[in-house]
Amino acid sequence: MKLQLKILLPIIGLFMLFMGLSGYLAYRQTAESLRASLIDNMEGEASAMVRAINDLADTSVQNIVRTADNEAVLRFFANAGDMGNPESLAAVTATLKRLEASYPGFDRITLLDTEGKVVATSRPELSKIGDKFDDRNYFKEAIKGNAFLAQPFFSRVVKKTVMAASSPIKINNNIAGVVYATMDLDPFFNAFVGPIKVGEKGFAYIINSDGLVVMAKNTDWLFNKDLPAVSSYKAWVAAKQDGAVELTGNDGREVVVYHKTEPGSGLTAIIRAETDDVYSGLYTLRRTSIIIILCSILVGSLLVFLVVRPVVRSLNKGVVFAGEIAAGHLDGTLDVRRNDEIGKLADALRTIPASLKEIIHEYKNLEEKIEKGELNAAGDEARFSGDFAMLIRGTNGILSRYRTVLENIPSPVIMLGKDLQATYLNKVARELAGEDYKGKTCQQLFGREDYFTATCGLKKAVETKRPGRGETVAHPQGKTMDVGYFSIPMLDEKGNLLSVLQLITDLTAIKSTQRTIMEVANRAMDISNRVAAASEELSAQVEQVNRGTAVQRDRVNSTATAMEEMNSTVLEVARSAGDAREQAENTQGKAREGSALVTQLITSISQVSTVSQELAENIKSLGTQTEAIGSVMGVISDIADQTNLLALNAAIEAARAGEAGRGFAVVADEVRKLAEKTMSATSEVGSSITGIQTATSQNIQRFSQAATLVAKSSELATTSGQALDQILAFAEHSAAVVSSIATAAEEQSATSEEINRSVEEIHRIAGDTASGMEEANVAVRSLAELATELNSLLDKLKA
């Protein structure tokens, strides 16, 4: 075989292979691009339908809730007894018709009582008064107290597919009935579903959460459980994943469908395209490409065979290879093996895609690490040289600068991988959680109490794929902190979770300040209550002392009266003794008895004098104690004045602090009011003690007068004794006079006994007075301690 044939045949063969492979790859790439474009278009249409469904659901629920809160509707249910009144029914029916006209989409609004019976409707020709709807899910849900949107269903009233929204009607927080409205879905279908076309034969339809078709151009599909694709529909709904699927359609044709679920209503939008329809142009392209490739192979082979020489053929291969590299296709091959300059050129060209692949591979690895949250990742500069190494070095420099910014943020910053394990912590976060953080969760690093609970912001961010906030108590390395955090999910272009960035704020100082203010306010209120109780107790004790003093004054008056009666009796005895001196011989025995009685009387009067003097001393001591209590009350009054002044200063400082000091100003104002109440109570207690001091002073004066009368009675009794001694020497009186003397002596004895009882009662009352004043003194000391505690509390507030 000639050399030319040896060169031409392989080149022609390679050319044929290249053309065939190029045609195949071109067809595959076109097919994939066409399918991707088709899926994108279908996804866009499905997303638009889902948005329309969401808008319909939200608007319907909002409008039915507004209807439930309508004043006329509430008034109708509030007057339940008048529901059957034609005027009341006509008024609420007019209101319902007006609301139906004002809310787009509503074609009927109906009011039901708690048993599900129709009591009013905007369309009496469709729903009659008394019809029961208690078996409908929209009634069952609304009567529980929840606004509800029912999925599309076939209405037995209007004989078409409708949706229903319902809401409870509440009177004074009690459910009085239910309002529901139905929406005719034909306008929605005509506006958002019917116009959608994919290719020549593609269309859109909607299924519910049970996998049944609820809106479609083909009415035979509606609520048909026997459709071939129902099982596939149910599987999509159960999987809760949107996407494109190729399957056999309900009409037996091969189709491509894209399904997307609206989570609020549970409805799924489906866009369908027939494979033969959308790929018909691709099939034509395939046939044309095959013809062109065959013709190109024949023509190229002929030209190469007739014109191209080995060198030209080699150069052409090199040019084609270089063109693929320039276009970004690095998987091509250059089959040129020569020892001359062309061979070296081929060798140089073959090294280019290898170097580019290494660079691309390095960047892909770096990109994957960063997407996973490994912010400390860097490219391997040592693997490359020249400008390639400089490119990697520049990329590493940019990443380093970003890391420096994160490191210097004064708040903790955490990066979590898609498995929610830590991949990066900045400096502040490492100081809290430690350096060993790789592969640990937030719960393991910070001991967050709300980790993946219902209030966890991280859980919300992962589930909703939207930023989530949260506040909780954390325990990093045994510490306890109040923290707030903001979780930001990082998603790929398909919405899949790649990593989560968390920004943490230390709220410990703020929470502590809030708790301190609340504690101070509670303690101030407790002190106020205790001061009020102590003041009431002190007032009761003072009132009791006043009553004792009044009784004591009455008993002293009684004692003075008894002393006067006894003095009169003694004088009468003396006169009788003078008349009976001539009869003394016959009455010596009785005279001796009278002498003994007078002796006892003198002893008793002496004892009365002694007790009266002691009682006077006790009452003087009581006066001294009440003066001391007055001094203590003066000190309490001074403390209250100082407390009031401190509260005023605290209010001024809070006013200077502006909004941040508003709560502190409220506490200071309450303390000032408490101080004013303390001053008022102290003033009242002072007035009561002044009254006690006045009454005690008057008692001292009256006891001094009583002591003087007792002394005079003692002198008179002594004189009576001397007269009785003379009676014993000269008694010669008649029996009548002696009887008179005996009667007077008996009256004298009774009077003495009354004096003894009065003096004993006075002594008891004086003891009760002393005890009451002691209790009053304890209450005053309690007031003083409470005032001191209140003063300390105010000092704490000032600090």
Match 């502006």 to its residue by tokens. Answer: 658
- Give the tokens for residue 730: 């000269």
326 belongs to a structural domain:
no
Separation between Cα atoms, residue 563 and residue 576, nearest integer Å: 20
| Torsion angle, alpha carbons of 135, 140, 143, 146, to 10 | -150
Q: How far is CA 151 from the centre of its chain?
A: 34
Return the closest-CA partner of residue 76 out of 41, 120, 39, 117: 120
Residues 126 and 267 reside in one and the same domain: no
pLDDT of residue 799: 59
Residues 666 and 570 reside in one and the same domain: yes
Separation between Cα atoms, residue 229 and residue 248, nearest integer Å: 8
Separation between Cα atoms, residue 147 and residue 163, nearest integer Å: 14
182 belongs to a structural domain:
yes
Looking at residue 331, the DSSP 8-state letter turns out to be -
Residues 440 and 403 reside in one and the same domain: no
| Cross-strand partners of 656 | none
Instruction: Round to the nearest angstrom and report the end-to-end CA distance of the chain.
Output: 108
Looking at residue 193, the DSSP 8-state letter turns out to be I
**Structural contact between residues 723 and 577, judged by C-beta atoms closer than 8 angstroms:** yes
Quote the domain boundaries for residue 714.
Answer: 513-798
- Give the tokens for residue 148: 């509800």
Return the closest-CA partner of residue 256 out of 27, 37, 492: 37
Here the CATH number for the domain that contains residue 728 is: 1.10.287
Buried-exposed string 674-706: b where 16+ CB fall within 10 A, e elsewhere: bbeebbebbeebbebbeebbebbeebbebbeeb
Helices (H), 164-259: 186-188, 230-239
312 belongs to a structural domain:
no
Residues 523 and 493 reside in one and the same domain: no
The 3 state secondary structure assigned to 215-226 is: ECCCHHHECCCC
Separation between Cα atoms, residue 531 and residue 789, nearest integer Å: 11
Sign of the C-alpha dihedral computed for residues 207, 208, 212 and 213 taken in this order: negative
pLDDT of residue 570: 46
Assign residue 197 a region (left: φ > 0; alpha: ψ between -120 and 50; beta: otherwise): beta
Residues 78 and 95 reside in one and the same domain: yes
398 belongs to a structural domain:
yes
pLDDT of residue 577: 47
Residues 404 and 419 reside in one and the same domain: no
Domain tally, the chain: 5
Separation between Cα atoms, residue 256 and residue 244, nearest integer Å: 7
Residues 458 and 577 reside in one and the same domain: no
Q: How far is CA 65 from the centre of its chain?
A: 26
324 belongs to a structural domain:
no
**CA distances in angstroms from 528 to 279, 534, 716, 787, 790, listed in the order given:** 87, 10, 62, 10, 9
Separation between Cα atoms, residue 332 and residue 294, nearest integer Å: 21
Residues 646 and 761 reside in one and the same domain: yes
Kind plus residue range of the DSSP H or E element containing 490: strand 481-491
The 3 state secondary structure assigned to 55-71 is: HHHHHHHHHHHHHHCCH
pLDDT of residue 24: 77
**CA distances in angstroms from 774 to 179, 622, 632, listed in the order given:** 73, 10, 14
Separation between Cα atoms, residue 474 and residue 420, nearest integer Å: 17
Looking at residue 192, the DSSP 8-state letter turns out to be I
Kind plus residue range of the DSSP H or E element containing 675: helix 662-730
- Give the tokens for residue 34: 């066409």
730 belongs to a structural domain:
yes
Task: Classify strands 203-207 and 267-274 as parallel, antiparallel or unpaired.
Answer: antiparallel
Block mean pLDDT (10 aa), the chain, length 799: 69 79 79 84 92 92 94 89 82 93 90 93 88 92 92 83 93 93 90 89 91 90 90 88 89 90 90 84 75 78 67 69 78 78 78 78 75 73 78 79 80 86 86 84 83 84 88 87 86 83 82 68 66 64 64 59 58 56 58 62 58 59 60 60 68 69 66 68 64 63 61 63 60 55 58 62 63 66 71 65
pLDDT of residue 118: 93
State which of 357, 389, 408 marks the end of a domain: 408
pLDDT of residue 714: 58
pLDDT of residue 584: 47
Residues 653 and 734 reside in one and the same domain: yes
State which of 280, 302, 323 marks the end of a domain: 280
Within 13 Å, how many C-alpha atoms sit on residue 485's CB side? 31
Separation between Cα atoms, residue 268 and residue 214, nearest integer Å: 10
Between CA 511 and CA 519, with CA 513 as vertex, the angle to 5 degrees is: 105
Separation between Cα atoms, residue 474 and residue 451, nearest integer Å: 10
Residues 547 and 417 reside in one and the same domain: no
Kind plus residue range of the DSSP H or E element containing 695: helix 662-730
| Cross-strand partners of 413 | 503
- Give 364: exposed, middle or buried? Use CB within 10 Å, 0-12, 13-18, 19+: exposed
Return the closest-CA partner of residue 678 out of 796, 792, 786: 786
Kind plus residue range of the DSSP H or E element containing 503: strand 497-506
Residues 675 and 750 reside in one and the same domain: yes
State which of 380, 408, 436 marks the end of a domain: 408
Return the closest-CA partner of residue 598 out of 722, 767, 698, 783: 722
pLDDT of residue 797: 59
Phi, psi (rounded to 5 degrees) for 266: 80, 5
Residues 177 and 217 reside in one and the same domain: no
Amino acid sitting at position 559:
T
Task: Classify strands 106-112 and 481-491 as parallel, antiparallel or unpaired.
Answer: unpaired
686 belongs to a structural domain:
yes
Between CA 733 and CA 744, with CA 739 as vertex, the angle to 5 degrees is: 110
Here the CATH number for the domain that contains residue 156 is: 3.30.450.20
Looking at residue 279, the DSSP 8-state letter turns out to be T
520 belongs to a structural domain:
yes
pLDDT of residue 145: 92
- Give the tokens for residue 527: 């002190």
